[in-house]
Homo-oligomer: A and B are copies of this chain.
Amino acid sequence: MTVAGRGAVEAVDSVLVALADPTRRHLLDLLAAEGEATATMLAERLPVSRQAVVKHLAVLDAAGLVSGGRVGREVRYAVRPAALDATARWLAALAADWDRRLATIKRVAEAAERDSG
Residues of A within 8 A of B (CB): 2, 13, 16-17, 19-20, 22, 25, 29, 32-33, 35-36, 78-81, 84-85, 87-89, 91-92, 94-99, 101-102, 105
- For A25, A91, A92, the residue with the greatest tally of chain B CB atoms inside 10 Å of its CB is A91
Contact B2 A32 (CB under 8 A): yes
Q: How far is the CB of A21 from chain B (nearest CB, A)?
A: 9
Q: With a CB–CB cut-off of 8 A, which chain B residues contact A95?
A: 81, 84-85, 88
Tell me the complex Cα distance, A95–B17, Å. Answer: 17
Q: With a CB–CB cut-off of 8 A, which chain B residues contact A105?
A: 35-36
Contact A88 B84 (CB under 8 A): no
Contact B98 A87 (CB under 8 A): no
| Nearest residue, chain B, Cβ from A79 | B98
| Given A16-B16, A19-B16, A20-B20, residue A102 in contact with residue B84 (CB < 8 A) | no
